[in-house]
Structure 1
């Protein structure tokens, strides 16, 4: 991973974090959904960003569960609803536009207070405190052997969203092990931010479909339902480990 020079620092709950923040060990489960672009735009219109449109007014939404183990922010669970958007100022469309699209983080519940404060303060991520119920294996051995996995997210005592993943097929490391450079976008307290990041995944598995989504009574569930969920996923995936860095955000 890239080493920082003249690195900036942030103090969170008395702890000094030097940028970029590093994630050394984390397990990931994701599912990609093709949804109506107008519905996705209505959901994130507050951000001022534009969804990346392709294939007759379609947009891409990615739901994911991360279990962070060894990171500068500690160990925690995190669920994310991510909408693929154009870089600010771009009106690109079509499948080729997805190559330059970034992920706008619309939902981001976590289960630990330190990462909640750091995420909101440093990057403007919309982290909220939540509880996670985990079923099955999200450890490296479980992912490697293709065991089933599921989770539920509860916020303020209300069930928000749950997902159940079926085992995927292993993908050769030569196809997935290269460093990926990406941007995520966030909006909090009237400010839109872009955060650069780098990621290397190992032990990756993919499967067409492969996931069941369950929605609850929390307002997050109503927003997901407005996209047409639950529906069949385009693709689901898991990674035995994700090594990441997050730099300082840029304010628009």
Structure 2
């Protein structure tokens, strides 16, 4: 430790969802969703393609709900500045990262198959146990000058597995970043993950979407939260 990711790509979309529905979905964690507006929370759906890192090369999809730090009941737009991502879904396509993610950080990783379309328009499908779960199609965004994105970002992530909630601090540096309003279309399948996303109002229009040509990450041990 710490684990280092030297090269990865990212496609991400943020959505406004019903806060009560999001809270019901993650209540098992003991954490509270960040209500950035009255009864509205933020869900972040993303695909990471890890190219060079200590856990090998693999694909990873995440359903993340933005939550307050433990013990905080803050709300409003300012609360998002201190919010962290609670990782509710985390399918991957390689066995080593699955085992490491579950045993070291308590991430809810499961095995999945991915179909990625990487042309002028980027898209991906996630299939679990032979059932289509979720897919997202992205439209290209506008490039953002590196002076606005190259500063390292430190964000906590939260996970819950086998009755234990954990916090993991990580540092991330992005380059080749593009953003656009909207720009992402979600498709749902028949898997149980899709039913959970539907409970949040998916499929729906993204507030904002982004991509990064390269992501460097460093993250250490997980800390159990009482």
Q: Report the number of matched residues.
A: 225
Look at both structures and tell me which one has the larger radius of gyration over its CA atoms.
Answer: 1
Paired with 1:232 and 1:151, the residues of 2 have a C-alpha distance of 17
1:10 matched to which residue of 2? none
Asked whether 1:170 is paired with 2:152, we answer no
1:105 matched to which residue of 2? 87
Asked whether 1:71 is paired with 2:53, we answer yes
Paired with 1:51 and 1:203, the residues of 2 have a C-alpha distance of 30
Asked whether 1:188 is paired with 2:161, we answer yes
Paired with 1:54 and 1:148, the residues of 2 have a C-alpha distance of 31
Q: Pick from 117, 137, 143: which aligns with 1:135?
A: 117
Cα shift at 1:105: 0.2
1:239 matched to which residue of 2? 212
Asked whether 1:45 is paired with 2:27, we answer yes
Paired with 1:45 and 1:207, the residues of 2 have a C-alpha distance of 32
SS of equivalent residue, structure 1 residue 42: helix
Paired with 2:199 and 2:145, the residues of 1 have a C-alpha distance of 36
1:56 matched to which residue of 2? 38
Paired with 1:195 and 1:79, the residues of 2 have a C-alpha distance of 18
Asked whether 1:90 is paired with 2:72, we answer yes
Under a length normalisation based on structure 2, what TM-score does the superposition of the two structures give? 0.99
Under a length normalisation based on structure 1, what TM-score does the superposition of the two structures give? 0.89
Paired with 1:70 and 1:163, the residues of 2 have a C-alpha distance of 24
2:183 matched to which residue of 1? 210
RMSD across aligned C-alpha pairs, in angstroms? 0.5
Residue pairs, 1:215-226, within 5 angstroms: 215-226=188-199
SS of equivalent residue, structure 1 residue 192: strand
Unaligned stretches of 5+ residues in structure 1: 1-18, 138-146
SS of equivalent residue, structure 1 residue 167: coil
2:200 matched to which residue of 1? 227
SS of equivalent residue, structure 2 residue 160: strand
Unaligned stretches of 5+ residues in structure 2: none
Cα shift at 1:120: 0.2
Paired with 1:180 and 1:54, the residues of 2 have a C-alpha distance of 20
Paired with 1:22 and 1:193, the residues of 2 have a C-alpha distance of 19
Cα shift at 1:57: 1.2
Paired with 2:156 and 2:36, the residues of 1 have a C-alpha distance of 20
Cα shift at 1:49: 0.4
Moved over 3 A (4+): none
